[in-house]
Structure 1
């Protein structure tokens, strides 16, 4: 996506506009402060003109004191204006930054399953943080540097015009030249800023990838390999940063030459004016005062513009995500799903991840309300994909899925997912207390309800071993718990949620035989009165299902009860059963 600076500015403004009054008052205070700061040197001019043109006397001293009092007055107004803006700034910036971060977080979470599957978690986190930081840098440069500079340019040019036309015109031409040169360099440099930001994201992603997979790195003695891999992206960042800094050095060298040029030119014409009597000593002081102020701000202008462009580059990656429409969206007139019975119809559904990988080929399945159905088949047959389509983690490309005669693409995603409890094969937990992880199934559940669900899922057997009990933090992704313990937490969530449709995706795959036996009773109670879909490779876990559907090559090849399928000669199910009979049946 080819984003422009205005796209980033539009993103900033969407949140800043909610605090327009604070912004207006703050900018107004800065304007008053800068104008007052520029009026004060006019009294310096008058002060030195009086000294050079008068002889010492009490009257002259009084006049000089009055002039100095006006200097103090305007300096005081300037001080108050800047202080008022300084105290108002935290209110404005913290609110906008918080809202930007919240908006980025909220928008990110509603992206599709495939979006996250194709993105590094670490880089996404960094993009969110960069967006908020970039606004802070941009806002600081805008009203502490750019706005005061613009005011100074116009006010100084206006005041000097009444003193000496030539000097005023010369100053204005130089300012325009300086801005054009800086704009050219900054516009040229933006691509290098973006390249540096992208390399920084790659470093974060590589770091996050290796740290997240630390157990794998250790078990395969891969530290040296990971170090070499990280070193490549780290060196690429170094090169991009070095190039960026070298360009900055060139720009600063050009700026220094421009400053030398304007200082020489101004004083040359000032001396000429003094020679013909049109420029006084006070005017010299005034020009020097304005020149110092402008040079200080114009010197920073290059850095300010570069900082602004760098902040745009930092924000660009997250703004791209904010500007990217969701792959899966509710239709305009989407209604809430009403599940009265729980019947499911998969009607000629086709789906592929890409042109060469067709996962489902016009599959048809009808599941009666309250029926318990098992989906089995070889890996890659499309079982888990079908479940993801049922939950609208992906959108169907052909056909449709209906729940109680309601097409799922015409109901809200929230109501659809509220009606389904999922126990996934690979349970990932939040780095939060065990109780909060269980309560995620029903976020307003009482402690008693949480404990009841934990007991039914046999979670209490390991929870009691932790000193903090239900308040124990489980670590990132639940790393402090074993795979079986994490699955029991997932089952407790499903028990607590008590949705009318239940999906068990290899729900007992990480359990040992004893633990599986313990929760079979809980699962049977959980499935009672619910439409249940069970995905299983361990065929011993599905004997009690009402119906078993065998999926292969993206379609249904067999279906029936356990006994019916075993009775069929050369059936796919019978072959799978015979292969596993020597092992898993003993666990049943």
Structure 2
């Protein structure tokens, strides 16, 4: 469906802008009032020069004192205008900085609350750019409206009124010219609006492509994809260039039309002025004042195109983020209970889940009860529903039917923060913040003391590699933890889980990236970690789960086997036995 470029959700953008602007209302209205006064003085001061010229034109030296008093009055007015402009400038700087910071916080605070699916379907780079464009859009439109738009309105109206008080017919000519000029610019820019949005979308697409390729630089190197990526990204950049150039050419077309209007109206006015001067209807000081007003008016009108351009570009830039802010969360918090002292019983009761992207049923009338403190492993072939089980338990997705409960409490009846605070999760491929090792480990319990962090790191055997680093725990790990090996990242993730000490523990093959020595060392830490906790292990290597209390085998979203290792490994025709037989030859039990 083609996008409606004439509707950029301006009301929506302004709604979210105002939520932050109203927090700085005093500085906002101070800037508005001072700008109006300053712009009014721009019209009033030239009138005082006309009085001075009339006095001087009289060649009467007995009224020199009057001329001096007019000059002093003009000086005072200029100082007043200077003081107002400087005060307005400082107020505007404070107001914009405060509001831009507020808009970034507003956008990030809401964005980060979206669901797992939302982030899976959007580039991180593009989302980051949308936040920045949203804040910068406010800066752009505020600069244009406050420093150009409002002065244009006050000076334009003031100039027409001032000239009307002297010679009404010239004000009529100027008034008609202003209406034609502004109307032409407005219609032209509205026609061109869709090209602004197209250029903005092309810019976002380029940013996403660059982020995607740079973020996967290791794959590019390993699969020698340099030339392919340069060609692929180059095509996207080239397409953006074409759309941007065409957009800029359209702006030059508007400038040509406005220039023609300005030259034409100046010629018409002074052609009429010559006739009036010949008849003695107009004096030289008035002609000079008229020329002064014309120059100022043309300067202000020339900025109108830029004002409207900034207006629409800003809304085009801000719209993407405003739409996200107006998009309801897929996972909504409607808590009616609080899960406090959790023992760790987990119950899936007739749970059904359909994957929206391809409408495939992942879990079908799935029921499972895990008593508090029990250690279970979930086994199955790829796509069987193991990962979905974990994500539903953590409420990263909403179920389509049934209930998921912890200690008899439906997880939809408690907040996501409350729920996830009771679960520790160690993923197969941990992603770390580009922060220090101390900060990354402490993320499991953000109010933990340094001593607690060091203890958790020791239990996870993180200290073995951290102590060898020049900056130790103050070492920055790089974007997504790229400076650490897979095994080191996983040990940091395990240290987080140890520090968090939640009653429910989920291990998504948490030792898969460790070498045999590191895996052996970490088993003791796991034994301490899982004591008294409900432990769910997503198992890929079956050798690591032999001592689980239960092993659940899932296939096509249903439980097909449930038992202990010895039982399932000897069950003829069973899927677990088949998987075990495939792996048993090369594995050694490390638990």
TM range (shorter): over 0.9
Residue 55 of structure 1: aligned partner = 59
Q: Provide, for residues 358-415 of structure 1, a one-character-per-residue CA deviation record: whole Å limited to 9, x for no partner.
A: 2111111111111111100001111011100111111111111011111111110100
The 5-angstrom pairing of residues 26-41 of structure 1 reads: 26-41=31-46
Query: What residue is the counterpart of 2:20 in the other structure?
Result: 15
1:340 aligns with 2:342: yes
1:432-479: CA deviations, max 9, x gaps? Answer: 111110000000101110010001111111111101111111111111
What is the match of residue 48 of structure 2? 43
- 302, 309, 326: which one aligns with 1:306: 309
Shift of 1:277: 3.6
1:170 corresponds, among 169, 173, 187, to: 173
**Which segment is superposed worse, 338-347 or 104-113?**
338-347
Q: Shift of residue 265 of structure 1?
A: 2.3
Matched, 1:242 2:217: no
Deviation at 1:544, TM superposition (A): 1.0
Q: Is 1:151 matched up with 2:154?
A: yes
> Does the residue aligned with 1:537 lie in a helix, a strand or coil?
coil
2:517 pairs with 514, 517, 525, which one? 514
How far off its partner does 1:60 sit? 3.5
Separation (CA, whole Å) in 1 of partners of 2:269 and 2:85: 30
Q: Distance in 2 between matches of 1:431 and 1:502?
A: 25
Q: What is the rounded CA distance, in whole Å, between the counterparts of 1:558 and 1:185 in structure 2?
A: 69
1:393-472 alignment, distance < 5 Å: 393-472=396-475
Give matches, 1:312-323, under 5 Å. Answer: 312-323=315-326
Residues 545-586 of structure 1 deviation map (CA, whole Å, 9 limit, x = unaligned): 111000011111110111221232211111111111001236
- 2:544 matches 1:554: no
Check conservation: 1:48, 1:281, Cα contact below 8 A: no
Secondary structure of the structure 1 residue equivalent to 2:588: helix
CA shift, 1:48, in A, is: 2.3
Query: Any conservation in 2 of the 1:44–1:285 contact (CA below 8 Å)?
Result: no
> How far apart are 1:10 and its partner, in Å?
2.1
The partner residue of 2:286 within 279, 283, 286 is 283
Query: Residue 428 of structure 2 contacts residue 510 of structure 2 at CA under 8 Å; is this kept in 1?
Result: yes
- SS at 1:585 equivalent: coil
Higher mean C-alpha deviation, range 274-283 or range 84-93: 274-283
Matches within 5 A, 1:450-529: 450-529=453-532
- Whole-Å Cα distance in 1 between the matches of residues 501 and 114 of structure 2? 26
**Aligned equivalents of 2:231, 2:272: Cα separation in 1:** 62
Q: Secondary structure at the match of 1:548?
A: strand
Q: How many residues align?
A: 585
Q: CA RMSD in A?
A: 1.4
Q: What's 1:72 paired with?
A: 75
Question: What secondary structure, in the 3-state scheme, does the structure 2 residue paired with 1:502 have?
Answer: strand
Q: Is the 8 A contact 1:40 1:70 kept in 2?
A: no
Q: C-alpha displacement at 1:339, in angstroms?
A: 4.2
Q: Mark the CA change 1:339 to 1:272 in structure 2 (over 3 Å): closer, same or farther.
A: farther
* C-alpha contact 1:350 1:396 (8 A) present in aligned 2: yes
**Aligned partners of 2:272 and 2:408: how far apart in 1?**
87
Unaligned 5+ runs, structure 1: none
Equivalent positions of 1:47-196 (< 5 A) are: 47-52=52-57, 54-57=58-61, 59-196=62-199
Cα displacement string for residues 62-92 of structure 1 (whole angstroms, at most 9, x for unaligned residues): 3322222222222222111111101111211
Using the TM superposition, give the Cα deviation of residue 290 of structure 1 relative to its aligned residue in structure 2, in angstroms: 1.1
- In structure 1, what is the equivalent of residue 216 of structure 2? 213
Deviations 1:195-220 (A, max 9, x none): 11111111111111111111110111
d(CA) in 1 for partners of 2:251, 2:337: 56
- Name the SS for the 2:270 alignment partner: helix
Q: 1:343 to 1:202 in 2, by over 3 A?
A: same
Answer yes or no: is the 8 Å Cα contact 2:42–2:155 preserved in 1: no
Ranges of 4+ aligned residues in structure 1 off by more than 4 Å: none
Report the CA distance shift for 1:120/1:75 in structure 2 as closer, same or farther (over 3 A).
Answer: same
Do structure 1's residue 5 and structure 2's residue 7 form an aligned pair?
A: no
Q: Which of the numbers 370, 390, 410 marks the counterpart of 2:393?
A: 390
Q: Confirm or deny that 1:381 pairs with 2:384.
A: yes
* 2:351 alignment partner, SS class: strand
Give distance in 1, aligned partners of 2:238 and 2:11: 32
Unaligned runs of 5+ in 2: none
1:19-39, CA deviations, whole angstroms, 9 ceiling, x for partnerless residues?
111111111111111111211
Deviation at 1:227, TM superposition (A): 0.1
Tell me which residue corresponds to 1:351. Answer: 353
Please say if residues 20 and 103 of structure 2, whose CA atoms lie closer than 8 Å, have aligned partners that are also in contact.
Answer: yes
Contact kept? 2:200, 2:317, Cα under 8 Å: yes
SS of the equivalent of 2:396 reads coil
1:37/1:74 contact within 8 Å kept: no
Q: How far apart, in 2, do the equivalents of 1:359 and 1:258 lie?
A: 66
- Structure 1: distance between partners of 2:402 and 2:505: 23
The worse-fitting range, judged by mean Cα deviation, of 181-190 and 117-126 is 181-190
Contact 1:47/1:282 (<8 A) preserved: no
**Length-normalised TM-score, structure 1:** 0.97
